Amino acid sequence: MSSNFILFLAGISLLICLAITPPKLQCQENPYIVTYDHYLEEPGNLEIEYFSTFGTQSAGNNFHAFWMEFEYGATAWWTTELYLDAQTTFGDSTVFTGVRWENRFRLLKYEHFINPVIYVEYEHKSAADKILKEVEGHDVELDFAESNAVLRKQHSNEIETKLILSSTYKGWNFSENTLAAKNLSNLPWEFGYALGFSRPLALKASAKRCSLCSQNFIAGAEMYGGLGDRYSFGLHDTSHYFAPVLAWNLPSDWSLRISSGFGLNDNSHRFVFRLGISREVSNFRSMVGKVLKGNQ
Amino acid sequence: MRPRLVIIALLLFIQLAASSWAQNAPSASKKKKSLYAEIGKAPVKARARQNPFENDPEAIAAGGNLYAQHCAECHGSKAEGRKRGPSLLVSEVQRAEPGAIFWILTNGVVRRDMPVWSKLPEPQRWQLVSFLKSLRSPSPTPVEKSSP
């Protein structure tokens, strides 16, 4: 087991600790795993999330990629997130694959029919990264065919930007993301997209507090893929996925997300199953403030 | 993957969080006043909207649940106000048109840290308005009854 992998175990332990603290606030998560909508984290709150991705690999071994996500609402118009990524390739090994630092900025003061958000992310990752949090450029299934020992030696620093457009109409959310990523070692800009729609199963809240009420479930679907790079923009040698998604927002402060993704062409993994669990720590800012100031 | 990179990223994260925390600490009373002033910015069309659940006891109960889940942490369990969010029992809120409160819930006051709540479906936002309106002046009622 890699020493860095201990970080993940620490994260999971933290999640378990959160499970036994009393609930304060229910999060209202959209079910998307790749697509972003325009809703940011509530200011001062920290959301801790764990995601798993099980993927099939036609030329090579199947894999389980996983990441911890720490999402903090710095203000009502700025959310910042830290990701720690790792993966296990069955019959091979478990490796830590990278760190990401993501920022999302809400551009407009009021809600409009289309709401834009700017996304900027710095990634330091190895080629063994298999979380498929986004698909860009000419990313294809064959990229994962090499062993972890080979892939983990290739590191990259990347800046990724997205324009997130999102609308909410009569309970439906429609989100469109366009992606442009630049490897900082003189490689061309790469492009990608993600589209999603979702709706709660009930729009009215129940007068009773319940876990299985239909208002707590949000169902939808997302589609994402690469669009080539600056020199060969388009759909050739790219991979694309379609994934029905479901979120269950529990009154006990937890959210679960499930997604079954299907590759849409021969360059894609045939099946990608994802599972996410998250918990919101409300008033995190005040908690940190109290610790630093030594208040009660 | 070098552990020091993880540490640098963590430090950056903490630094940014701390800086935003420091930036967001204007005087509490100034912040509250400007938040109430936002209600007055609701467009006429938005103010004119009627609450489809007005006086519906089920909507008030559902709104109470939604309030406990999403609002109480900042505004207090009895809407009395806290450091993070102002009181919702004051006349600025209680005398406001339901449409104006609905507009604030939908748009938030993003520059003053009140998040956008349009992620809650429209009926749920109206249920919240029903609950907030049900909180108005609970104390004067018994006095009025006892007077001749």
Domains of chain A (ranges; CATH) run 5-293 (2.40.230)
Pick the more confident residue, B115 or B29.
B115
**What residues of A are in contact with residue B106 (Cβ under 8 Å)?**
111
For residue B58, the chain A residue with the least C-alpha distance is A207
More confident residue, A217 or B13: A217
| pLDDT over 60 at A262, yes or no | yes
B112 token code pair? 């003053």
CA distance A175 to A221: 11
Which pLDDT belongs to residue A90? 96
Q: Which helix (H) or strand (E) holds A226?
A: strand A217-229
Task: Take residue B84 and report the two structure tokens written for it.
Answer: 């993070």
pLDDT, tens digit (0-9, with 9 covering 90-100), for B87-97: 999 998 999 99
**pLDDT of amino acid B55:** 86
B6, B13, B69 member nearest A251 (Cβ): B69
Pairing between strand A155-169 and A172-183? antiparallel
Considering A13-17, A116-120, B7-11, the range whose residues carry the highest mean pLDDT is: A116-120
The gap from C-alpha B28 to its chain's centroid, in whole angstroms, comes to 15
pTM of the model: 0.86
Contacts of B3 in chain A (CB under 8 A): 3-4
CB pairs under 8 A between A and B: 127
Domains of chain B: 25-136 (1.10.760.10)
Residue that has been written with the tokens 């507090």 in this structure: A209
C-alpha A192 chain-centroid distance: 15
Is it the case that residue B148 has pLDDT exceeding 50?
no
Q: Which amino acid is at B110?
A: V
Residues in chain B: 148
Name the pLDDT band for A272 (thresholds 50, 70, 90). very high
* Mean pLDDT value of segment A46-75: 95
pLDDT recorded at residue B141: 38
User: Please, are residues A166 and A114 in contact by the beta-carbon 8 Å criterion?
Assistant: yes
Confidence of residue B145 (pLDDT cuts 50, 70, 90): very low
All residues of chain A having their beta carbon less than 8 Å from the beta carbon of residue B13 are: 70, 72, 80, 82, 101
Chain A closest-CA separation from residue B54 CA (Å): 14
Q: Residue A135's closest CA among A254, A13, A235, A57?
A: A235
Average pLDDT rounded to a whole number, residues B101-130:
94
Per-residue pLDDT band at B9 (split at 50, 70, 90): low
Q: Centre a 10 Å sphere on the Cβ of residue A183 and count the other Cβ atoms it contains.
A: 17
Structural contact between residues B58 and B87, judged by C-beta atoms closer than 8 angstroms:
no
CB contact under 8 A, A207 and B107: no
Give how far the C-alpha of residue B122 lies from the chain's centroid of Cα atoms, to the nearest Å.
Answer: 15
User: Residue A94: which pLDDT band, with cuts at 50, 70 and 90?
Assistant: very high
pLDDT band at B118 (very low <50, low <70, confident <90, very high): very high
Longest dimension (CA), chain A: 60
pLDDT greater than 60 at residue B107? yes
A203: chain B residues, CB-CB within 8 Å: 121-124
CB atoms inside a 10 Å sphere around CB B83: 11
Q: Residue with structure tokens 């005398």? A: B95
Find the distance separating the first CA and the last CA of chain A, reported in whole Å: 40
Q: Does B15 touch chain A (CB under 8 A)?
A: no
Separation between Cα atoms, residue B18 and residue A50, nearest integer Å: 24
**Closest chain B residue to A77 measured between Cα atoms?**
B110
**CB-facing half-sphere around the CA of A80: CA atoms within 13 A:** 18
